[in-house]
Amino acid sequence: MNTHEHVNEGRAAQDAQPELLICIGAQKAGTTWLEANLRAHPDLHFAPRKEVHYFEVLDGHDPMSYSRNKARLLQSIKNLPDEPGPDFDAAFAEAETNFMHLRMFNNGFEDHTPYLDYLRLGYAGQRYICDFTPAYAHMSRNAFEEMARVVPHSRYLFLMRDPVDRLWSAMRMSARRRASIQSEKGGGIRSAVGLGRAKTAQDLATASAVKFVKQAKRGTMPGRSSYDRTIRDMEGAVGRDNLHYEFFETLFTPEAMKRICDFLGVPTIKAAMDEKENEGAPIAFPKDQLDGFLSRLAPQYNFCAAKFGETALPERWQSRIGRLKELGLFDPTNVQQVG
């Protein structure tokens, strides 16, 4: 290939109009593993950070994300060498990346160009640019509609996990973080989080589980646990044909990777089929709270059974549904569906 062809190839990559792939969630449902494997796909391009949090911030759900990105930018500027040298380019590239991430939020829903510019950092003509942000799952219907307007006919992935397991995994992750902070601060965080004398991650996670069950009378559900609301809003905004669903329990298989790649219209790649979630030290689920969890999460099982078919759900889900039937809480016949 001569120099002229190289120049034309570079320009073609810059001028290409890639399709947009957004993985919406859910939290603790395998998005990190999936992103790590798809990042190696020659037809997919990923921004420097897996989670972009763009629509979530503009929708008002994560105001601290802007502050976190600002802090990263200021720190990266501070890290610039005092004099030119071999480390300057890498330090400057880090500062530039952080600037572009922060700049995304400046124009609200009026102009999405900075968002697309950020996703195209390092772009080399791949078919898709990608945004894997599980927190998008609890956005408003308006935010999903705006998402659909950014790049028409974009593709969307939604990963789901057994509702009890997903919520408990999130509680464990939060408990480990709080236990670590508690340890660093000498235990002073106990009163700050309102969990009494709880000290270990096990204590903190168990207290969160008990609190979740006791809040049943409020009738509200954590946003990331509301598969029914998320799916209705997504399908209503982006269209069912542009969405692909996978379950955490069957995600780590060649068959699931093939389904995802077929949905995207790209060649199937070989992925590392071992679960990569970092669970850390074991934290046991308080079994005496299981029925309380199932009672609060019953609408999610009912909805998914009605939408996907009870027997099509993974075995873990069906096991939970068996207990719901014993409790008299399984009734997918009255679920309002979409599409």
137-176: pLDDT as tens digits: 888 899 999 999 888 889 999 999 999 999 999 899 888 8
pLDDT of 9 strictly over 50: no
The domains located in the chain, with CATH, are: 19-47+121-334 (3.40.50.300)
Q: What is the pLDDT of residue 154?
A: 93
More confident residue, 65 or 258: 258
User: Three-state DSSP class for 245?
Assistant: strand
pLDDT of 215 strictly over 80: yes
pLDDT band at 194 (very low <50, low <70, confident <90, very high): low
DSSP state of 151: S
Q: What is the pLDDT of residue 186?
A: 61
DSSP readout, 11-80? HHHHH---EEEEEEE-TTSSHHHHHHHHTT-TTEEE-SSS---HHHHHTTS-HHHHHHHHHHHHHHHHTS
Q: Residue-wise over 19-39: b if at least 16 C-beta within 10 A, else e?
A: bbbbbbbbbbbbbbbbbebbe
pLDDT band at 52 (very low <50, low <70, confident <90, very high): confident
pLDDT of 250 strictly over 80: yes
Q: What is the pLDDT of residue 284?
A: 92
Per-residue model confidence as pLDDT tens digits over 95-131: 888 787 777 777 777 788 889 998 998 999 999 999 9
pLDDT band at 7 (very low <50, low <70, confident <90, very high): very low
Which residue shows structure tokens 């609060």?
A: 296
**Beta-bridge partners for 159:** 246
